[in-house]
Structure 1
Amino acid sequence: MTSTTPPEPLPVEVSRRFPHNYAVLDVETTGLDPRHHRVLQVAVTQLDASGSIERRWSTLVDPGVDPGPVDLHGITSERLAGAPTFAQIAPTVADLVRDRVVVAHNARFDWAFLAAEAKRVGSTLPTRERLCTIELTRALKTPAATFSLESLCTYWDVPQARPHDAEDDVRVLVEVLRHALTDAHIQRIALPIRDPYARIPLRRKLRRRYRRLRWKLRRRWNNIRAHAHGVPHNPQA
């Protein structure tokens, strides 16, 4: 069971050191490649510099294609019936991130999908600042088992209700961010805020392509195994 009690504001010295307004967000998608796959769900929570919540917003999104790995995100075609298209929510998304530091766990992934969707409908994401909580917690050397959102939630005792649901992932990410900001102040570490529109080095692009290919091969292999296990064994074969 999750608490709905508003969190206490960050210590004054933390908000003074990091005087940013944040848009904490998460997306669920039909796959891993923003050029070919689509957004299924978007959740955004706005925070002020004190870490207080200003606005929560989330929606399912009609991708116009098959929802992809339902076993992972749980978003079926039936759940998507009647959901708005990205073109319909693009103005709201733009307003939610406008002039804020966009925060996400593996922020490059979420940003790439939102930017690709915005481009398809002739919209933009009006911010020049992005913060990845994986990069931040690595810089802090946070002693969690891994830097996954699940591990960080376990380390900071943040209960998850629905992993891989964008709305719940944003809820817990807000708490992870608040802990990380406090630790960054204590350790005197600058926030690794990046320009999301900066060009990505070639080596990093190749690494991302390799990860996508590995995911596709793993998924294909799992499909082959599942099909093989579903076929009755023929002893005369």
Structure 2
Amino acid sequence: MQKNNSIDKTTFTVVDVETTGLSARYERIIEIALVRVENLKIVEKFSSLINPQRPIPSFISMLTGITNSDVKNAPMFHQVFPKISEQLEDSVLCGHNLQFDLSFLRNEVQILGNDFNPSHTLCTLKLARKLFPNLKSRSLGPLAYHLNIKAKNSHRALGDAETTAKVLIKLIKQLKDKENIQTIEELLSYQTGVKTFQSLNIKPELQNDFYNLPNAPGIYYFLNSRNEIIYIGKAKSLRERVKSYFSPGADSRVRKIIRQAKRLHHIITNSELTALLAEAESIKVKNPKHNKMLKGYGNKYFIKVLKNNSAPFLDITNKFDLDGCDYFGLYHSKRDAQKIVEFINKTFAIRECDDKEFLKSRPCFLYDIQRCTAPCLGIDINVSKHKAELEEVYRFLNGENQNAMNRLLNKMKYFSSQQMYEKAAEIKHLIDFLLEEIHKSSLLSEPINSAKVLIEILSPSGNDYLILFEGKVFIKGYLYDNKNKFEEILDDFYSGTINNDALPSQEDLEKLKIVLQWLIKNRNRVKVYYLKDYSGKQELFAKLNNNDASDLIVDNTRTDPIYDFNI
């Protein structure tokens, strides 16, 4: 679709979804409707119930009239997605409060292992806010009433989508008359507050660079007239992210970047994760003057299990070493690590004392209140009990021990039943915190110092492959991997020539922090392979590519890509 197309020749597809709840991250779609608009007339309608593979809450059934029995035999999302893709092809995706519908569509498509990033989107709520700033309510019902549109079958997908389509048509007609908006580019600019390049006095080279941005993940960087990089950023969608820089509502720092920038270059990555990693390292390498964040290495903390002790116990450290101890994490703050250690010490009967106290060989008050098994006594049964408790701690840190969480859940339910809501909320916050933090270590199912895994990131534009090896990070085809260390570490591992003395660098730990943070939010797009489970590289690659390793084997005869980003 050309952005200078007249509005009359543009196809719009209006979407509306009904869902099991409000959070796209945790809830699912139960009904979807699409209404196609051409020449400012409704020409086609599509709707379908969808089996969400979970119960529909009663209040949702009361609101929409959709019950569990209605969706029991309905198609699942992956079965209707081809039809949805066909309807959206070469059109502008529209909706009322579109971000809500879009977030659910993105989540459903991510579950299928793909990305959903429409090239152009239009929200009737945003248009209404600009056209009718004094209207008391701009939700769909009141807005339709204001425009003399009769809304039918509210809170059902097709009824709301059809009403939204009629609202869209009337809004566009008003914008054509009142604002002289004639092209789709002008309409999209009006919605976002982005002015045309002419009105912003943007340099022609910068305009052309912007129009060449793809709707793909990657990093972008602005250069001044001396060809110096002045700012580096990353994006899940390069075009959508950079578009915000040309908004009149942009802050003074962004406006300063645009005034100084003459060119805009970009590098496409396979996934958002490799864009995040490339951005963080590029900022440290190039030191652009307008970047304030990511120029240094932030705090990183680990929970350390002191295994070199006769009765191992937990400690918190910001140092990582291959000293025979086990390291879990990593955590952004010392307080986060302390909260987890405090919870473990209160939940599992493991040693908490230092060596001086331990060597006294007499039990302390923690033994009396059953918070410790007193391994300091040196009695076999006490030592064995401590070992068993420590194994449970490992299972908890690996995300396998649900007993501790169940106890917290029961306590939360008890406080709630007693109407002690503040205490129940405190427990809820603790559960949420523990789940998020434990998810980081549970991804690897073993301590960081022992982890030797290959991680596959599923992405429509090409999968990414990372190796986490004893705290070090290696990325296939990475921007800064000129020596092809990804292949080298695999060759060394399977040939038994690994150098175990090399500690992770600050850059490795920074990458590890970024990787773990991203993985816990995108677990449905991740596959983990333990190197020890495969006899060699070829067997591993065959598993990755369904017995076809050609995509992963590096072709040394191929010319390396030439980046205008001067590393």
Q: Structure 1 length normalisation: TM-score? A: 0.71
State the 1:160 CA deviation. 1.8
Q: Indicate yes or no: 2:113 matched with 1:122.
A: yes
Residue 127 of structure 1, CA deviation: 2.7
Q: Which residue of 1 aligns with 2:54?
A: 65
| Aligned pair partner of 1:145 in 128, 131, 136 | 136
Q: Is the 8 A contact 1:22 1:103 kept in 2?
A: yes
1:27 aligned onto 2:23: no
Cα contact 1:140–1:187 (8 A) shared by 2: no
Question: 8 Å contact 1:45–1:55 — kept in the other structure?
Answer: yes
Is residue 98–residue 127 contact of structure 1 (8 Å, CA) maintained in 2?
A: no
Change beyond 3 A, Cα 1:124–1:51: farther
Residue range with higher mean Cα deviation, 178-187 or 17-26: 17-26
Matches within 5 A, 1:199-218: none
Partner of 1:75: 66
* In 2, Cα distance between equivalents of 1:74 and 1:186: 40
Question: In 2, Cα distance between the equivalents of 1:143 and 1:191?
Answer: 21
The residue number in structure 2 matching 1:175 is: 166
Tell me what 2:470 maps to.
Answer: none
The aligned counterpart of 2:422 is none
Look up the equivalent residue of 1:53 and give its one-letter code.
I
Structure 1 equivalent of residue 327 of structure 2:
none
Describe the shift of the 1:199–1:67 C-alpha distance in structure 2 as closer, same or farther (beyond 3 A).
farther
Q: Which residue does the alignment assign to 2:310?
A: none
Amino acid at match of 2:82: P
3-state DSSP of counterpart to 1:131: strand
Residues 161-188 of structure 1, C-alpha deviations (whole Å, 9 max, x = no match): 2111001001111110111001111221
Q: Secondary structure at the match of 1:191?
A: helix
CA distance in 2, matches of 1:64, 1:121: 14
1:75-94 maps to which residues of 2 (within 5 A)? 75-94=66-85
1:164 and 1:146 map into 2 onto residues whose CA distance is 17
What TM-score does the superposition give when structure 2 sets the normalisation length? 0.31
Q: Tell which deviates more after alignment, 120-129 or 165-174.
A: 120-129
Counterpart of 2:103 in structure 1 is: 112
| Aligned mates of 2:76, 2:136 — CA distance in 1 | 38
CA distance in 2, matches of 1:100, 1:130: 9
- What are the ranges of 5 or more consecutive residues in structure 2 without an aligned counterpart? 193-214, 216-235, 245-415, 417-567
Distance 2:71 2:123 in 1: 28
Alignment match, 1:40: 30
Moved more, 50-59 or 137-146: 137-146
Q: 1:16 to 1:142 in 2, by over 3 A?
A: farther
Q: Which residue of 1 aligns with 2:156?
A: 165
Which of 29, 32, 43 aligns to 1:54? It is: 43
With CA pairs under 8 Å and 6+ residues apart, which has the higher RCO, 1 or 2?
1
After superposition, the Cα gap between the structure-2 partners of 1:93 and 1:72, relative to the gap in structure 1 and judged at 3 Å, is: same
Instruction: From the superposition, tell whether residues 98 and 123 of structure 1 become closer, same or farther in structure 2 (CA, over 3 Å).
Output: farther
Structure 2 contact 29–104 (Cα < 8 Å) conserved? yes
**Do 1:25 and 1:44's aligned partners in 2 also have CA atoms closer than 8 Å?**
yes
What is the CA deviation profile of residues 135-171 of structure 1, one whole-angstrom value per residue up to 9, with x for unaligned ones?
A: 0111112664311000011111211221110010011
Which of 177, 181, 185 aligns to 2:176? It is: 185
Q: Return closer, same or farther for 1:148/1:107 CA change in 2, 3 Å cut-off.
A: same
Gaps of 5+ in 1: 1-14, 202-223, 225-237
**Cα distance in 2 between the residues matched to 1:51 and 1:18:** 6
Letter aligned with residue 66 of structure 1: P
Q: Which amino acid aligns with 2:17?
A: V
**Aligned equivalents of 1:17 and 1:98: distance in 2?**
17
In structure 2, give the amino acid aligned to 1:169.
D
Cα deviation for residue 53 of structure 1 reads: 2.6
Q: Cα distance, 1:85 vs. partner?
A: 0.2
The one-letter code matched in structure 2 to 1:78 is S
Deviation per CA, 1:90-110, whole angstroms, max 9, x where unpaired?
Answer: 111111112211000000110
Per the alignment, residue 277 of structure 2 pairs with none
Native 8 Å contact 2:152 2:163 kept in 1: no
Contact 1:106 1:134 in 2 (8 A): yes
Supply the RMSD in Å over aligned alpha carbons.
2.6
Decide which moves more: 138-147 or 165-174.
Answer: 138-147
Instruction: Select which of 84, 92, 99 maps to 1:101.
Output: 92
Deviation at 1:191, TM superposition (A): 2.1
By how many angstroms is 1:16 displaced?
3.5
Correspondence for 1:220: none
Deviations 1:88-134 (A, max 9, x none): 11111111112211000000110110111011113454631110100
SS at match of 2:44: strand
Aligned to 2:379: none
Aligned residues: 188
Alpha carbons of structure 1 residues 176 and 169: separation in structure 2 relative to 1, 3 Å: same
